[in-house]
Structure 1
Amino acid sequence: MSTHSDPILWIGTETCALGPYRADLVETYWRWEQDPVLLVGYGRQGPESLEARTEGMAHQLRGANIRFTVYDLSSGEPVPAGVATLLPDHAVRTAEFVIMLAPEARGHGLGTQATRLTLDYAFHITNLRMVWLKVLAPNTAAVRAYEKAGFRTAGTLREAGYWLGRSCGEVVMDTLATEFTGPSVVGPLLTRP
C-alpha cells in the first residue's frame, strides 16, 4: 500500500506527475472541493459534507471513469496537488476532461502540465481520438491554461452557467489525438529495455 510519502506515479515530468486516485486522500480532495474559488469555477452553489464526499468516493473508485491524483514534484517530493478526470464514452472513443487543483497549486503552470499528461495518457494509452471540456467563459485563466495544453474553442453554450451570481456562457473546448503535439512521456516508456 502506498503512503503519502511514497505514492505510485504512473507518468510525469520533472515537476508534475499523475498517479492513482486514492481513497486515503478523500478528506484532502474534499477540502480542495470546498474552496470558494473552485465552487465558483465549477458553477456549484453549495458545499458538500465530508460524509457525503466519503460515500461518493466509494462509487467513484468502482466507476468506469479514469481518475488521477495530480502531484507537484517541484519540491523534490511528490505532493498531492489536484485531481484530473476523464469521463470516457468508449463507443465513440471520446472523453470529457475535468481538473481540480488545490488552492496552493494554482498559478504555477501545474494545471497545464497535468492537462498535457492526462491528454498524453488519453491518446496513447486509452486510445481516445478526442477529449473535450466545458469551462465557464469568465474563467479566463482556465481557458488560457487549456489552450496552452492544446485545447481549442469549439463554441459557447450561452447562459449555461453561473459566475459570481450572474448567468454566463460555458465555453466548449476540444482537442484531437491527431493534434497532440510536443513530447509524449508515454512513448519513451514503451521503448525502455
Structure 2
Amino acid sequence: MLWIGNEICALGPYRADLVETYWRWEQDPALLVGYGRQGPESLEARTEGMVHQLRGDNIRFTVYDLTSGSPVPSGVTTLLPDHAVRTAEYVIMLAPEARGHGLGTRATRLTLDYAFHITNLRMVWLKVLAPNTAGVRAYQKAGFRTAGTLREAGYWLGQVCDEIIMDALAKDWGGPSVVVPLLPE
C-alpha cells in the first residue's frame, strides 16, 4: 500500500516485516557517521525496538523507489511530533544503494507535504552534521532553510564538528503538493 508519491518515489506504511531490512540499512558505516552513533545494534535489539516504534506517536514511512517499475523499499522517513506546538523533528534513513539519485530529496518533499497538509504541522526541523554537505544540499532542495548552528555538537569521522539546524515552515511551503490535488473541492 502506497499512501502518497510521485513518479520517482512513494511513501507507505512502516512495516514490522521489514525490520531486518531497516536494521541492515542502519548498520551501514556511512549512516552511523551521519547519525553520530558510534556502534552497531544487534538484530534482536532492533526487533525489540520495532515493537515500541510501531506503538509510538511518531509518524514513520517506508520510502519506496518506483524507478524500476515496482515499488522497492529504499528507506524510512520519520516525523517526531510535538503536538502541543504543532512542530516535528525530521529524520531520514536511506539504503546505501538508494543514495545519490535524488530519492532522499523527493522522499523529504513528500514527507513535508504530508506534514503540512495532512498532519497540519506548522514547522518541521532537523539537525545535520555540518560536514554532511550532500545531506545539507538535499535538505535545501527539499525546502529546508538553515536556522542556526550548534557549535561543536557532533562528531564526523572522529573529529568534533558543528550541527546545522534547518527548518521548513508550512507558510513557506511552495509545493508542488501531491496531497492537495487529492482533496475534494
TM-score range, shorter chain: over 0.9
Map 1:28-177; keep pairs closer than 5 Å: 28-177=21-170
- Structure 2 alignment gaps of length 5 or more: none
- Give the number of aligned pairs: 185
- Given the two structures, how large is their TM-score scaled by the length of structure 2? 0.99
What SS does the aligned partner of 1:39 have?
helix
For residue 17 of structure 2, the aligned residue among 24, 33, 38 is: 24
Letter in 2 for 1:28: T
Deviation at 1:182, TM superposition (A): 2.7
- Given the two structures, how large is their TM-score scaled by the length of structure 1? 0.95
- Structure 1 alignment gaps of length 5 or more: 1-7
> What's the RMSD between the two structures over aligned residues?
0.8
Letter in 1 for 2:117: H
Letter in 2 for 1:138: P
Encode CA deviations 1:106-156: one digit per residue, 9 max, x unaligned: 000000000000000000000000000000000000000000000000011
Overall identity of the aligned pairs, in %: 85
CA contact (8 A) 2:25 2:95 kept: yes
Letter in 1 for 2:49: G
In 1: Cα distance, 2:126 partner to 2:2 partner: 25
In 2: Cα distance, 1:25 partner to 1:89 partner: 27
Deviation at 1:191, TM superposition (A): 3.1
Deviation at 1:190, TM superposition (A): 1.1
Q: Greater shift after overlay, 51-60 or 182-191?
A: 182-191
In 2: Cα distance, 1:138 partner to 1:103 partner: 18
In 2: Cα distance, 1:187 partner to 1:155 partner: 31
Task: List structure 1 segments (4+ residues) > 3 angstroms apart after TM superposition.
Answer: none
In 1: Cα distance, 2:160 partner to 2:176 partner: 39
In 2: Cα distance, 1:131 partner to 1:91 partner: 14
